[in-house]
Every structure is written in structure tokens, then in C-alpha cells.
Structure 1
Amino acid sequence: MKVLVLGAGVVGTAAAYFLASDGHEVTVIERHEAAARGTSQSNAGLVSPGDATAWASPSALKTFLRGLWNHELGIKVRPTLDPYFYAWSLRFLRECTVARMRANTRVKLRLALYSRDCINAVSEQTGIHYDERKRGIIYFFRSQKSLDSGTDNYRFLAEHGLPIEIVGRERLVELEPGLAAVKEKIAGGVYSPIDQTGDSKQFADKLAAYAAEKLGVNFLFGTTVTGLDIDGDRVRAVMTSAGPVAADAVVISMGPESGLLGRRYGIDLPVYPVKGYTMTVPLDEFRGPTMGGADEDQLLAYSRLGNRLRMSSTAEFTGFDRTFKPRDFNSILKTSKDLFPGAFDEKKALLWAGLRPMMPNSVPVFGRAKYSNLYLDTGHGHLGWTLACGSGKLITDLVAGRKPEIDPQGLVYQG
């Protein structure tokens, strides 16, 4: 079968790899000049089933509303005239009950655990390395109050299959000596030993090269999708800046642009962009963290990628604006210098901002949408890197008409 994958982020690239491995003739259409130059270029680097708790929750609702006027919070909401933002927001608010948060979290965790195994299998099968570290991730809290309330979500994840260890500050520093300098500022945390870290851009670059060389995947870089050529209940071709490209099946993995394309053709696909910021700095070999982590009170996630420190924070609702200014990173810099004093030179920092493709319920969506040969693999939000390979295997099974290896309930498109 000839399959078109729209988008060569880590999600689309993984889908292309698995589809080609399954025997399909795969072409990937990507507007950038290489893989992983959009959302996947510079994320937090965490492959983190431990971060599977749905964003839409009672606490997120409070922060979301406060973010309308307080732009110093981790969630920032900029006023906009975009009517779709308000439609998305209403759907998000409906998901912010405890019951919905728990249901959505169970679905995300199921896919995240599966995907983490898939990433490791791909690495083993292809020989691809990507500054990965398989030492776990530590999620820590600065006060006893936040530790007591914050561990509830992790206990729920543990009840549904995630191994965790709840640790005090002494055990935390034993696990992560890189936090020794701030031990007294930390009350404790949660250690997820199966979580890991790695550079998604490196992974996607190398996987794209492998897929092209070994599996015959054709990457049409520098090519923009302009529309779909619909014939009855099928997509006959994808219209691009280089002309029409015909196929037997089409998979949409265009990150935040997925919703824009889908809605043009009557597909109810509530993917909305949420901007995140990252800073990457070189580290001395013997300084800084030894594993990934998250400062839950300051809403900062970080990874050690070789001898680089990647730090990520902020969820900003500002439409499709990808611009940034140095002052946008003040909070990241302040928290990072507090956690790892003297470990890096801020003058060498590489700054970046990208758009996460968020669904209101924080759960990605897969499967056939409206047309008999049009499929979705999108809406992964802040866990795109974590979920990419499991998503690639899942969409391959759905395109092939097979029963997926994992339960697809809660993941398959219902529009």
C-alpha cells in the first residue's frame, strides 16, 4: 500500500518507520528542510510515563483561569480574537474534573508505557543512539504541603502499572547527587526508575536517515501541504507546494497544524497550539544532574543530554506565534541556576520556543477520520517524544486493519 505521512516530527518519522517496516511504500511530506525542525526540535528530552497525568485537572483549571491575568505563572493565557481558542477552552474546562482527569490519565499511561518499550526496541534494532540515559527521572517538591498533595497523582499512576518510589530528601540526593547543593530546599519527591531521557531531534534525524536508506522511505522535505483532493469518501491525493501526491492512505501527523488541516474538511479535530520554551547549555562532565528531573513547584523539567543540560518550562496560549525574547527565559534561568549553581555558563545558552499540539483532554487521537483512507496520529501535547514510537506502531496496526498490540480504547478517533 502507498501511504503518505504528513509531517516529519518525531511522531511522523516514527509512523513512517513502522509503516515501512510493515511493508508499505511510504512517502513523508515535511515543510521544513529536515526531520524534527518544529515541535520535536528542542523539547524537555524526557521519555516519561511518570508525566502521564492529564493536564486537564481541577488544579490546571485554577491555574488556567489565573493565567488570564497573571503572566508570571507556568501557564500563560494571552487574550486573542481566535474563536477556536474559546471553543477549545470550553472543551478543556469540561475535562477538568477528577473523574475525567483519572480516565484520561489511564489512557495516556497505557500508551506511554507501551511507547517507552517501543523506543528502546527501535534503538536496539536500528543501532540508533540519541544521548539517551536510562537512569529514571526524579519528580521533586519544595514543600511538605506540595509533596503531600502532589504524590496523589503518582500513587494513581503506580496503581495502574508505573513503578515508583516516594523518597525523602536524603534518598533523593542519593539518587541524584546533582541536587545536593539545594537539598535543604527540597522536601522530597517521586522516583520513576523506568523513565528515561534522550534527544528527540537526534533520534528523529537518525531514524529518518535509517528509514530512507534501509526501508526506502521517501522524504519530501521543503514541501508544504496545501490541501486534500477529495473524491467521494476518499482522499485521492495530497496537494502540496510541489504538486499533487497520490496515495492509498494518508496519515496526518502535522503537530499543531493538524487541526487546521482537518477542520478544512469537516473533521472535528480540536488540536490547539500551546507554546513551550527551552534553554540548552553546555555542562562540565562532572557537574549538573545525572538524570532527568522535574521541579514540580517551579514547573521546570530538565534532561542531561550528553554534556548538555536541556531545561523546559511554560505552557503559553498564544496561537501560532513561535517568536520569543530573551526575557521569556528569565524564569527558566532563575530556577536552573538555583538548582545547579555554577554548573553552566548562561552566556552559552541556546534558546528555543515551539508549539505543542494539545487536545482538550490531553490524549492524542488515532485512526480513520471521516474519509475511508485518511488517518490521524496527532495531538500528543507535551508527551510527543514519550508517545512517538508507541503511536507509530499503533497507527501502523490501524492502517493495516489489525488488532493493535495495546487496547486502543480512548485513543481511536470518535468524531
Structure 2
Amino acid sequence: MKVVVLGAGVVGTAAAWYLSKDGHDVTVLERHEDVARGTSQSNAGLVSPGDSTAWASPAALTTFVKSLFRSDLGIKVRFSLDPQFLSWCLRFLMQCTQSRANANTEIKLRLAFYARQCINALQEETGISYDDRRKGILYFYRSQQSMDAGIKHMQYIAERGLAIEVVDRERLVALEPGLAAVKHQLAGGVYSSMDQTGDSSLFTRSLAEQARVRHGVDFRFGTTVTGLDVQGGRVKAVLTDRGPVSCDAVVLSLGPESALLARKIGIDVPVYPVKGYTATLPIDADKGPTMGGVDEDRLIAYSRLGNRLRLASTAEFAGYDRSFKPADFATMFRTAHDLFPGAIDETKAVLWSGLRPMMPGSVPVHGQARYENLFLDTGHGHVGWTMACGSGKLVADLVSGRKPEIDTAGLLYRN
């Protein structure tokens, strides 16, 4: 079949890879001039089943409401009368019961485990390099109170298959010598040995090249999708600013813009953009962390990408605004200096902000949507890098008419 994938981020590119492996004639349409120029360009770098806890929960609801009035929280909300924002908030509210939080967490964890297997198998098959490290991730806490709460969250997913180790400050520093300077500021942490790190942008570029060379995938850059030509219950062509592109099947992976296109053809995909900020800095080979980590009290994540340090923070509801200012990174840099003194020079930082495509329940959506040859692969939120390969393999199975390897309960689109 001729399959057109909309979006060349890590999610769309992974789908294109698996579809092309199945023998389909794959074209990828992307408005930017290269792959991974949107959400996938810069993130925390964490491939983390350990971060599978759903955002929507009773505790998150309290934080969300507080963020309307305070600016010092990891979640920031600019209140808006935008109907899509209000609708998303209502749906988020409906997901904030403990039962829904537990169910959504279990679905995310199932996909994250599967995706981890897929990305590691893909790397073994292709030999691509993307500054990956399979040393695990440390989730650490500055107070016993926050650590007790964090352990409770992690124990829930540990009971469902995540390998974790609760560590005191001595063991924490033994695992990560880079944190020795703040040893006495930390209560301890949780070590998730199954988690990994890597550069999603480098991965996506490398995978796209493999898809071109091995399977003839056609990436068309500088091409903006404007709509879909639907006739008789099928998508006949993708409409773009460079003319129509005919197709036998379409995969929608436009990240935060997915909902905008879907609404044009009467499909409700409740994806809403949530802005995050990252800074990437050069670091001496002998300084800084050796694995990924999350300062859970300050809600700042980091990863070691070769001789670079990636810092990431904040979940800001600000519509489709991608702008940033130096002050947005102040807490991030203060924390990095605190954790790794002498390791960074923020004057050399590459600053970035981008939009995560969040679903109200934190679970991405896949599969057939209204029209028999239109498939979704979107809404991965802050864990798109973690879930991309598992989602790509799942969607390729669905497009090809195969039974997926993964249990699809809770993962498929329902109109």
C-alpha cells in the first residue's frame, strides 16, 4: 500500500520505519526542513518506563488548580477562554480520580515496556548511535516527606513489573558519583535500572536515513498539510500547500497539531499542547552525571548525552506559544549548579522550548479513526521519546492488518 505519514518527529519517523519494513510504499510529510524539528528536537532525553505515572490524579488536580494562582510550581497554567482548552481541562478533571489514574498508569507502563524492547531491538538491527546510555535513571528527593510520596508512586508501577531499588543517600552517590556534592541535601531516591537515556533528535535523524537507504521512504520537507480529501468513507489524498498526495492509508502523527487537523474532518482527538523548556550544555568528560536523573522536588530532569548535559523542566499550558525568555531557565541553571558544581557554563547553553501533545489521561491514542484508512499515532505527551518505537510498531501492525504483539486495551481510538 501507499501509506502517507503526517509528521516527521520521532513518533512519525518510527511509524514510517516499521511500515516500510512491512513493504509499504511510505511517504512522510513534514512542514519543517528536516526531521525532529518540532517536539522531538529537544527533550529530557529519558527513555523511561519509570515515568509512567499518569499526570491526571487527585494530587495533580490540586497542583493544577494552585498553578492558576502561583508561578513557582512545575506546572504553569495561563487561563484561557479557548474552547479547546476548556474542553481539555474538563476531560482532565474526569481523569483525576484514583481509579482512572491507576488504569491510565497501567496502560502507559504496558506501552513503555513494549517500546523499550522495540527501541533496543531496532538499535541492534540498524546499529544506529544516538548518545544512548543504558545505566538506569535516578529519581531523587530532597526531603523524607517527598521521598515517601515518591516511593508510594513508584511502588505501584514496581508491583506491575518495573525493577526499582529504593536507595539512601550513600547508595545514591555510589550509583551516581556526580551527585556527591549534594549528598547531604538529599534524603535518598529510587533507582530504576530499566530506564535509559538518549538523544531523540539524533535518533530520529539516524533512523530516517536508515529508512531512506534501506526501504526507500520518501521524506518531503517544507510541506504543510492543510487537510484531507475524504470520499466515500476513505481518505483519497492528503492536501498540502504543494498539492495533493494520493494514498491508500494515512497515519496522523502531527504531535500538538494533531487535534487541529482532525477537527477539520470531524474527528475528536483531545490533544492539547503543553510547553516544556530545555537547555543543552557542553560538559567536561569527567564532570557531571553519568546517567539520567530527576530532581523530584524541583521537577527538573537531566540526561548525559555524550559530552553534553540536557536539562528539562516545566509543564506550561500556554496554547501554541513556543516563545521563551532567559528567565524561564533560571531555576534550571541554579539547580544544575547546585547538583553539579563547576560542571556547566550556562552562557554556552542552547535554549529551546517546545510543545508536548498531551491527552487528558496521559495515554496516547492509536488506530483507526472514523475513516477506514485513517490511523492515529499521537498524544504521547512528555513520554513520546519513550513510547515512539512501540507505538510505531503497533500502528504498523494495525495498518498491515496483523494482530499487534502488545495488548491494545486502552490504547485504541474510540470516537
Band the TM-score falls in, shorter-chain normalisation: over 0.9
Could you tell me which residue of structure 2 aligns to residue 108 of structure 1?
Answer: 108
2:233 aligned residue: 233
More displaced stretch, 74-83 vs 293-302: 74-83
Aligned pair count reads 415
> What residue number does 1:331 align with?
331
**Counterpart of 2:217?**
217
Q: Offset at 1:83? A: 1.2
Which string of whole-angstrom CA distances, capped at 9 and with x for unpartnered residues, describes residues 217-261 of structure 1?
A: 000111000000010200000000110001100000000000111
Structure 1 residues 193-272: aligned runs within 5 Å: 193-272=193-272
SS of residue matched to 1:270? coil
Letter in 2 for 1:238: V
Query: 5 Å matches for 1:235-384?
Result: 235-384=235-384
- 1 CA distance for matches of 2:71 and 2:296? 18
Deviations 1:25-57 (A, max 9, x none): 100000000000000000000000000000111
The whole-number CA distance in structure 2 between the counterparts of 1:302 and 1:310 is 5
CA RMSD of aligned residues (A): 0.6
Per-residue CA deviation, residues 182-222 of structure 1 (Å, 9 max, x unaligned), is: 01111011101011000000000010011011110000111
Matches within 5 A, 1:148-167: 148-167=148-167
Aligned residue for 2:371, secondary structure, equals coil
Q: How far has the Cα of 1:79 moved from its partner?
A: 2.2
Which residue in the other structure is 2:81 paired with? Answer: 81
1:24 corresponds to which residue? 24
1:15 equivalent in structure 2: 15
The one-letter amino acid paired with 2:290 is: T
Q: Once the 2 structures are TM-superposed, how far is the Cα of residue 265 of structure 1 from its aligned partner?
A: 1.1
Amino acid at match of 2:369: A
1:5 aligns with 2:9: no
1:54 corresponds to 2:54: yes
Question: Aligned partners of 1:241 and 1:72: how far apart in 2?
Answer: 42
* Distance in 2, Cα, partners of 1:83 & 1:335: 37
Residue 157 of structure 1, CA deviation: 0.7
- Matched to 1:237, the amino acid is A
Structure 1 partner of 2:99: 99
The structural deviation recorded for 1:346 is: 1.1
Q: Residue 133 of structure 1: CA displacement?
A: 0.4
Instruction: For structure 2, list consecutive stretches of 5 or more residues without a partner in the other structure.
Output: none
**Cα distance in 2 between the residues matched to 1:367 and 1:36:** 23
> What SS does the aligned partner of 1:256 have?
helix
- CA deviations over 1:332-359 (Å, ceiling 9, x no partner): 1111111111111111011000000000
Shift of 1:268: 1.2
Partner of 2:398: 398
The code of the aligned residue for 2:348 comes to: K
Three-state SS of the structure 1 residue aligned to 2:133 is coil
Q: Distance in 2 between matches of 1:331 and 1:65?
A: 22
- Partner SS for 2:71: coil
Q: How does 1:64-79 map to 2 (within 5 A)?
A: 64-79=64-79
Whole-angstrom distance in 1 between the partners of 2:369 and 2:331: 40
The Cα shift of 1:98 comes to 1.1
Shift of 1:2: 0.6
Cα offset, 1:81, TM superposition:
2.8
> Match of 1:17, as an amino acid?
W
Q: Partners of 1:215 and 1:169 in 2: how far apart? A: 49
The amino acid that maps onto 2:275 is: K
Task: Answer whether contact 2:336 2:344 (CA < 8 A) is retained.
Answer: no
List per-residue Cα deviations over 1:366-408 (Å, max 9, x = no partner). Answer: 0000001000000000000000000010000111111110100
Cα distance in 1, alignment partners of residues 248 and 148 from structure 2: 53
Deviation of the 1:311 alpha carbon: 0.5
- Matches of 1:73 and 1:262 in 2, distance apart? 32
For residues 27 and 153 of structure 1, what CA distance do their matches in structure 2 show?
A: 41
| Aligned-partner Cα distance in 1 for 2:88–2:107 | 20
Structure 2 partner of 1:145:
145
Match of 2:409 in 1: 409
| 3-state SS in 1 of match to 2:406 | coil
Matched-pair identity in %? 67
For residue 343 of structure 1, give the secondary structure of its aligned residue in structure 2. Answer: coil
Q: Distance in 2 between matches of 1:226 and 1:127?
A: 36
Deviation, 1:153, is 1.1
Give the 4+ runs in structure 1 shifted more than 3 A. none
Distance in 1, Cα, partners of 2:141 & 2:59: 16
Give the partner amino acid of 2:253: S
Alpha-carbon distance, 1:149 to partner? 1.2
- The one-letter amino acid of 1:97's match is T
Extract unaligned runs of 5+ from structure 1. Answer: none
Tell me the amino acid that sits aligned with residue 365 of structure 2.
Answer: V
